[in-house]
Amino acid sequence: MAGAADRAFRELCISFGAAFCVSELVSAKGVALGDKKSRSLLDVSEKERPYGLQLFGDDPAVMCAAAREAARNDPDFIDINMGCPAQKVVANGGGSALLNHPALVASIVAAVRNAVPARIPVSVKIRAGWDSGHINAVEIAKLAEEAGAAFITVHGRTRVQQYRPPVDLAVIRAVKQAVNIPVVGNGDVFSPKDAANMLEQTGCDMVMCGRGALGAPWLFAQISAWLNHEVNLPEPPLTEKLLVLCRQARRTAELKGEEVAAREIRKHAAWYIKGMPGAARLRARCGKLCGSDDLKQLVAEILEKSSVA
Ligand SMILES: Cc1cc2nc3c(=O)[nH]c(=O)nc-3n(C[C@H](O)[C@H](O)[C@H](O)COP(=O)(O)O)c2cc1C
């Protein structure tokens, strides 16, 4: 997730049992033009494997050039984004805008498939369609399969719906029934029960968690425990949650430097404290965090308050 699931966070998700992670979406054009930030997003760390690099763009030749560059870092797969609803992405023809151009979808998948070594699977992430009048996930999924996609992730909402209303499981089920490649179901998985429900209602092969994992990377352990052993792992205690937040903050500082980490950890801290007593007031504090000492002080205060309460 762009601007949210960076390397520090993804490593945590893997350590809590996520089956795989995907990079933030990377502009194929940026990579092809040698843009430093785009290229740096293609780095792969051994601690976040299995790991997919996700590219977006609408030009098969540019996507090929970027995919070749991505393949040099030996990702476990390369994913093509056909679901991003952001205006700046769709305005340039990428992300979910591709759903309006099925022939282009097929060309891009085939081109990227041919551009990278066969050992690197190429996958596709799509939405249900552009809007309620154009639900075409099944058509797009079949084309992607024919063009060589190894698996497909379906977020059961249209581009116009963005993140509301609740995910449509029927469209994920329809895709699963229409293709022979594995299907990953995505949308509104916030708990082990949601994951089990997604698997049961759609028949999908795997479940992808987005927002539910933000500030709660232990969600993957909870989902695994439930799906594999029907064990209901409780929420970690407050102290442990805060320790995980501090671990993420330390790793972010290692990877991005203290200054950037100080800024970026603010939103993560706010996600971690969601649901804690006094969260609304604490959230305002999170927005003003100025580095690791500040974070330590906030954590100490939360713990002190919780022991008094
Ligand atoms: C802040 C944010 C950034 C996202 N960035 C990406 C991205 O880079 N690539 C992608 O495929 N999906 C991205 N998504 C979409 C999620 O992967 C996911 O499809 C969507 O949030 C629905 O799943 P959820 O209900 O589990 O969150 C993003 C979502 C959010 C909220």
Give the residue, by CA position, lying nearest to ligand 1 atom 19: 155
List, for the chain, all residue ranges whose pLDDT scores fall below the cut of 50.
Answer: none
Q: Indicate if ligand 1 lies below 6 Å from the C-beta of 108.
A: no
Of the CA atoms within 13 Å of residue 126, those in its CB half-sphere come to 32
Residue of 151, 211, 267 to test ligand 1 pocket, by largest number of atoms within 8 Å of CB: 211
List the one residue out of 161, 174, 38, 185 whose CA is nearest residue 96. 161
pLDDT tens digits along 267-299: 999 999 998 888 888 999 999 999 999 999 999
Q: Indicate if ligand 1 lies below 6 Å from the C-beta of 125.
A: yes
Confidence at residue 277, expressed as pLDDT on a 0 to 100 scale: 84
pLDDT tens digits along 68-121: 999 999 999 999 999 999 999 999 999 999 999 999 999 999 999 999 999 999
Specify the amino acid at residue 85. P
Instruction: Decide yes or no: CATH 2.60.40 for domain 238-308.
Output: no
CATH node for 7-218: 3.20.20.70
H or E element that contains 85:
none
The structural domains of the chain, with segments of one domain joined by +, span 7-218, 238-308
Q: At what angle do helices 7-15 and 238-256 cross, to 10 degrees?
A: 140
210 C-alpha vs ligand 1 centroid, how far in Å?
5
Whether the CB-CB separation of 128 and 156 falls below 8 Å is answered with yes
Confidence at residue 59, expressed as pLDDT on a 0 to 100 scale: 98
Whether the CB-CB separation of 116 and 80 falls below 8 Å is answered with no
Confidence at residue 309, expressed as pLDDT on a 0 to 100 scale: 61
Catalogue the active-site residues.
84
Confidence at residue 14, expressed as pLDDT on a 0 to 100 scale: 98
Give the residue, by CA position, lying nearest to ligand 1 atom 18: 210
Q: What is the residue whose two structure tokens read 């293709």?
A: 179
303 C-alpha vs ligand 1 centroid, how far in Å?
32
In terms of Cβ atoms closer than 10 Å to its own Cβ (0-12, 13-18, 19+), residue 88 is exposed
pTM over 0.95: yes
150 C-alpha vs ligand 1 centroid, how far in Å?
20
Give the residue, by CA position, lying nearest to ligand 1 atom 13: 1
